Amino acid sequence: MKCIFCDPGRTIVAENDYAYAIRDAFPVSTGHTLVIPREHVSDILRLSPQSYAACFELVRSVAAELEATLGPDGFNIGVNCGEAAGQTVMHAHIHVIPRFTGDTANPRGGVRGVIAGKGDYS
């Protein structure tokens, strides 16, 4: 089966030698961007050290661009590794999700909210 991240067919918004970034096709917020290594592996834990480092360099670049253009109040940077973690495309990728004050009633716990009822530690 053809990998949708090996040939995304979408506009690349940033790139380096080891990775590229595209806007998410199903964004959870305005500007939601995916950083995708050119190396085809199932998740970031299997990336070469060079690809891993380059991906996170690109995360910084993408976040800076989003800060300059959208002015978010924060970010969620997230990675799903494996089906049990919610990964649906088995090509490593990193979500850069701009967050805005008021975009959810209670953002406390951030990424801890991936398991319902576990994110609130009050």
Instruction: Give the active site residues.
Output: 93
Q: Hunting for tokens 């480092």 — which residue is that?
A: 53
H/E stretch holding 59 reads helix 49-70
Asked if residue 65 lies in contact with residue 6, where contact means CB atoms within 8 angstroms, the answer is no
Q: Are 97 and 74 in contact (CB under 8 A)?
A: no
3-state secondary structure of 22: strand
Pairing of strands 14-15, 33-37: unpaired
